[in-house]
Amino acid sequence: MSRIVILVIDGFGIGALPDAGEPRPGDAAADTLGHLLDGHRAATGHRLALPALEALGLGLAHPHPDLSRTPSLPAAAGRTALGYPGADTYAGHQTMMGADFSRVTVARLAEHRDEVATALRADGHGTELLGGRPPLVVDGRILVHDNLEADPGVNWNVSGRLEDVSFADVLRVARVVRSVAPVARVIAVGGHADAPLRTFVREGSLGTVGLDTPASGFYRNGGLAVQHLGAPLDRARRLPELAVGAGVPVTLVGKAADVLSCDAAVCCPAVSTTDVLALTLDALRRAPDTALIVSNVQETDLAGHQQEAPRYASVLQQTDTGLRALLPLLSPGDRLIVTGDHGNDPTIGHAFHTREYVPVLIHRPEATGHDRLPTAGTLADVGATAAIALGLRATALGSGTPLLRPAAGSAGVPG
């Protein structure tokens, strides 16, 4: 019997992956945590205090002069690569839950425009280029374009001005685009714009072209409608559905409630870190002897997007305080896994995610000492580790190998 808490600190990178500099060479120097620690010391003259994360082995996962390398709690600590292309919250969480996202690609719409147009015409729609530029105009009113707010090439948007078209029509077009799109997400967006949408089309990073959604007025004019259409995945082979099928109650907190969308789970959406931590603690207090809780602290990621390192550091300290309140609630057999979904270096000089390793810190209350885990190749190993702690078969997931294996008469040793 185990209660499993997976706490995802959104955008919590600990150093660039080998391919992080492709196609932005500067990202090869990304190190979200390292730069936060260095910046805090430079600004204040003392180290950033993260006692709970250090007790869980953060200094083993990221050797830094300002982090202790001796965990004070029973822990297994290491790092993992992402296991999916790009750096995206949706793909990161799906991979972590055992979905195989290795075949999802990062691509601009222009590279697949003809295929998209053919599919739309086969569904009875008219298509044309927007003045010779990459976005497609569908039925004269709906735009298919690169998403300019996420990392270039990760997502495509299908946008409609609700003065001109219903959201149902936008969604119908988005479903056709999703049927041929190789990217992680196609996002249907409808809203009230200040002028025709083509007025707000601009060039983005790395050759992308799309709607400047904030400039259009969609976010400030009210009535915004959004639906995310993820890449096809076998939900029966994700950890939440596998747990539910075995009679294990599942709670999804914060952004995890939106991104993972498991029908049988208790969903507690929230953005405020205070709310996320309070909901996580409440879910743990209410949980029976066996349960799965997946929580996402989003405000670290938001601070990264806004390139606000002091704010990121403050949210990280707030999260650390929440962990200190959570740790005494864990009993022998329970597991706390702290990790990330990608990087978001607030000092990198742009507002996009960074492709970095993320920490994996596993607390086992009944264990003694600490272990350093080998570097994992995919976030799916986190889900597989949680699965075996719940008494489930890790092989029932779509992807992933446990980082810890149970040993007879013990809590498990590094695998």
Selection from 37, 34, 28, 29 nearest residue 14 by Cα: 34
pLDDT confidence tier of residue 404, bands split at 50, 70 and 90: confident
- Percent of the chain, pLDDT > 90? 88
Q: What is the DSSP letter of 25?
A: G
Selection from 295, 303, 412 nearest residue 362 by Cα: 412
Bridge partners, residue 136, by sequence: 129, 144
pLDDT of residue 412: 35
pLDDT, tens digit (0-9, with 9 covering 90-100), for 317-369: 999 999 999 999 999 999 999 999 999 999 999 989 999 999 999 999 999 89
Q: How many CB atoms lie within 10 A of CB 206?
A: 14
CA distances from 207 to 38, 99, 107, 249, 351 (A): 33, 30, 10, 45, 16
pLDDT, tens digit (0-9, with 9 covering 90-100), for 223-255: 999 998 988 888 899 999 999 999 999 999 999
Q: How many CB atoms lie within 10 A of CB 186?
A: 26
pLDDT of residue 102: 80
d(CA 144, CA 128): 10
pLDDT confidence tier of residue 98, bands split at 50, 70 and 90: very high
Structural domains of the chain, ranges and CATH numbers in brackets: 3-103+233-414 (3.40.720.10), 109-230 (no CATH)
pLDDT of residue 406: 60
pTM (two decimals): 0.89
pLDDT of residue 411: 37
pLDDT confidence tier of residue 413, bands split at 50, 70 and 90: very low
Q: What is the DSSP letter of 320?
A: H
